[in-house]
Amino acid sequence: MNDQDSTDGPGLETRQRIVLAAMELFWEKGYQSTSVAELLQRAGAHSGSLYHYFPGKQDVLIAVLDMYCSGIGPMLLDPVWKNVSDPIERVFALLAKYRESIVTTGCTYGCPIGSLALELHEPDPPVRERLAANFSAWTDAIHGCLRAAGRRLPKDVDRAALATFVLTTMEGGVMLARTYRDVAPFDAAVAGLRAYFDRLLARDAAKRTRRASLIARTSS
């Protein structure tokens, strides 16, 4: 079978169209509620095409999770951070992007990875590993921002743990906003995180000021 069926339209290979259609449907309806027939209809593909590339529906899910993981930079981070150079503000610019998605969808937005992780209570190891890889890619990006902040954050702050805290703030805020159909819980969660960052930044700034004052006194 050719990589692209003659009836499948130009521009995208059949496999890619199936994965993109699955990304949409799994986000809109969930994995369990999406039938193979719906997936084929959305992708404009035939059953033979699907099973040529994917032995089963779970294999489509794995491909979706792989695409999310490889696309976190070009699909999410790069557009959000394009005009934001400050590493701390990059963290909050990313959270603001999620807020925008919440508002523009009438508070029905759910993080695609978080939604799948909640839906699949006991995922098979290959699925669980890829869900974890997606979360790790997200926290690694935040961890990079926190490392780039350098001495602005106190030396004793566990930056990896703080990156995980940012992730849980986002996921929890998104879930509550979707449940209540109100962006206020998300805003409250982010405001609390911002206040915590402000305290960390102020604490280290005060420490540096005291150190500079002591050096000035001892050298005078």
Grouped pLDDT means (10 residues each) for the chain, 220 residues: 43 84 95 95 91 93 97 96 97 98 96 94 92 98 97 94 98 97 98 97 66 54
Are residues 46 and 132 located together in one domain of the fold? no
Q: What confidence score (pLDDT) does residue 7 get?
A: 43
Which of 67, 82, 100 lies at the terminal end of a domain, its last residue? 67
156, 104: one domain: yes
Number of domains in the chain: 2
Question: What is the domain range of residue 79?
Answer: 71-219
Tokens of 144: 């990079």
Q: Is 4 domain-assigned?
A: no
Q: How far is residue 111's CA from residue 92's CA, in Å, rounded to a whole number?
A: 16
- pLDDT at position 202: 93
**192 within a domain of the structure (yes/no):** yes
Q: Looking at the domain assignment, is residue 2 inside a domain?
A: no
How far apart (Å, rounded) are the C-alpha atoms in residues 153 and 165? 15
**In the prediction, which pLDDT does 196 show?**
97
Q: CB of 92 within 8 A of CB of 194?
A: yes
40, 136: one domain: no
Cα–Cα distance, 90 to 82 (Å, whole number): 9
Asked whether the beta carbons of 25 and 113 are under 8 A apart, the reply is no
Please tell me whether residue 106 adopts helix, strand or coil conformation.
coil
**Is residue 7, in this structure, part of any structural domain at all?**
no
CATH number, domain of 57, equals 1.10.10.60
CA nearest neighbour of 44 among 1, 15, 3, 2? 15
Q: Which of the listed residues 67, 88, 112 is the one where a domain comes to its end?
A: 67
The answer on 51 and 86 residing in a single domain is no
Residues 90 and 149 in one domain: yes
Q: What is the Cα 18 distance to its own chain's centre?
A: 22
Of 43, 67, 91, which closes a domain? 67
Q: What is the CATH number of the domain that holds 158?
A: 1.10.357.10
pLDDT, residue 194, reads 97
Pair 105, 162 in one domain = yes
The per-residue pLDDT for 32 is 94
| pTM flag (> 0.75) | yes
What pLDDT shows up at residue 148? 97
Domain annotation covers residue 174: yes
Same domain, 53 and 143: no
Do 92 and 198 fall into the same domain? yes
